[in-house]
Every structure is written in structure tokens, then in C-alpha cells.
Chains A and B, each alone.
Chain A
Amino acid sequence: GDSVTQMEGPVTLSEEAFLTINCTYTATGYPSLFWYVQYPGEGLQLLLKATKADDKGSNKGFEATYRKETTSFHLEKGSVQVSDSAVYFCALKGDTGKLIFGQGTTLQVKP
């Protein structure tokens, strides 16, 4: 079945550092790919998405490119802030209509 694998956390960075969170997927067909963020005590917020190969999703300085050849959708940000500290979930949605999540990666940014 479809699945998503994320790099294990926690990831600890200093403010203004470069962020990469790796995400790879296994799916039949052509899924859409998503990154969600969850701040402590809150629900999930859609951060960005890409619906076909080579699409780049971007929002609030975060970017991710849908790479079909490597089945990847890595999340990047050039300069993280303390306020970016949260749990980040990579997810895919295929023909079943179900949103399938990776295990989540906790990001902690220190001043």
C-alpha cells in the first residue's frame, strides 16, 4: 500500500540555519504530496502542496519539489526562526482519497 517515510527527529537548529527534512514515498499511480505543520496543542495546518511531478510548493519561506524519479518531497527553508519550532508531517493523497502521513519530524530552533 501507499506509505510515507520521513527522517527521524528531533532536528535541532540554531536560528537562521538552513533546514532540510527528508521525505520519501511509495505509491501506485500519481499521488499529490503535502507538508503539514502542527504547533504544540493545535491541529494540523497545510504548509504547502504539489500535485504533479516537478511541481514546487512554497509558503512562508518553505519549499518542496515533487521528484518522481527519486520519489521524494524534501522540505527546505533557507533561514529558520524560533517560531518555526513545531512537528512537520509529510503526507500523500492518492486515488483512495485518504491522506497518508509520515511519522512526523520535530523541529526545535534555538535562539
Chain B
Amino acid sequence: DTEVTQTPKHLVMGMTNKKSLKCEQHMGHRAMYWYKQKAKKPPELMFVYSYEKLSINESVPSRFSPECPNSSLLNLHLHALQPEDSALYLCASSQDQSRVYGYTFGSGTRLTVV
């Protein structure tokens, strides 16, 4: 299995809703990442988990809450989002955080906040 699987593929939520994005990989990778990508822009790093512990938070607002229940799963909990949070949310994984390993990306969740 060489994939990162993200669910759902599309999500529409209101500003008062609570929802979660899910990411799963079975490649034995020990680093997992959340990125946010706006149209025609490069992905922006949000969070990094290394060996199931949060190692980097790029000053992301608290309405985004990551969770890593085990080495294969990564969740992103969403609460009280704003319309400007609408974007493609990408999950990625790598063997670990060392520089020689690239990332494997999922196909993303396209989020629309109404």
C-alpha cells in the first residue's frame, strides 16, 4: 500500500458546525503533515506529527485542532470556521522528518465554509 487516503473528498460546513477530516496511511511512515492549499497557490504547512507527537504548529488558529490517534491515522478537527478557511486540505506522510525523504500526499479534502 503506497497511498495516503483522505476522507471525505468534499465537505461543506456552516460556520457553527463541527466536522473532522481524516487521513490514513499504511506505509509505516512516522511523520504526518497537514497542509492547506488555496487556489493557484502552493500548499502551506499547518501541522507536523513525528512519531505520533505534535512537533510543529505553524501558528494555526485554534479552530483547527489536529489529532494523531496512532501511527497510521491523522485527524483534523474543525470548529467555528470562517469562509476564508475554504480551501483544499492536504494530508501527507514521510518515512520520518529527515531531509532525504519526500512526502506522499493524499488527494485532499475540498472544504467549503458557508
Nearest B residue to A42 by beta-carbon distance? B107
A95: chain B residues within 8 A (beta carbon) = 99
Whether the pair A93, B102 counts as a contact (CB closer than 8 A) is: yes
CB distance from B8 to the nearest CB of A (A): 14
* B106 interface neighbour in A43, A98, A102, Cβ under 8 Å: A43
Nearest B residue to A35 by beta-carbon distance? B102
- CA separation between A106 and B108, bound complex, in Å? 19
Nearest B residue to A30 by beta-carbon distance? B99
Task: Give residues in A with beta carbon < 8 Å to B.
Answer: 30-32, 34, 36, 42-46, 49, 51, 89, 93-95, 97-99, 101-104
> What are 9 A-B contacts defined by CB distance under 8 Å?
A31-B99, A43-B6, A43-B108, A44-B105, A49-B102, A97-B55, A97-B97, A98-B56, A104-B42
Whether the pair B42, A102 counts as a contact (CB closer than 8 A) is: yes
CB distance from B4 to the nearest CB of A (A): 8
Scoring B40, B42, B55, B106 by chain A CB atoms within 10 A of each residue's CB, the highest score goes to B42
Whether the pair A32, B99 counts as a contact (CB closer than 8 A) is: yes
Whether the pair B103, A32 counts as a contact (CB closer than 8 A) is: no
Whether the pair A45, B97 counts as a contact (CB closer than 8 A) is: no
Scoring A45, A51, A94, A97 by chain B CB atoms within 10 A of each residue's CB, the highest score goes to A97
Whether the pair A44, B90 counts as a contact (CB closer than 8 A) is: yes
Whether the pair A46, B108 counts as a contact (CB closer than 8 A) is: no
CB distance from A33 to the nearest CB of B (A): 10
- CA separation between A101 and B41, bound complex, in Å? 10
- CA separation between A45 and B2, bound complex, in Å? 12
Which 5 residue pairs of A and B lie closest in terms of their CB atoms, listed nearest first? A97-B97, A101-B42, A43-B105, A43-B107, A44-B105
Whether the pair B102, A46 counts as a contact (CB closer than 8 A) is: yes
CB distance from A42 to the nearest CB of B (A): 5
Nearest A residue to B43 by beta-carbon distance? A101
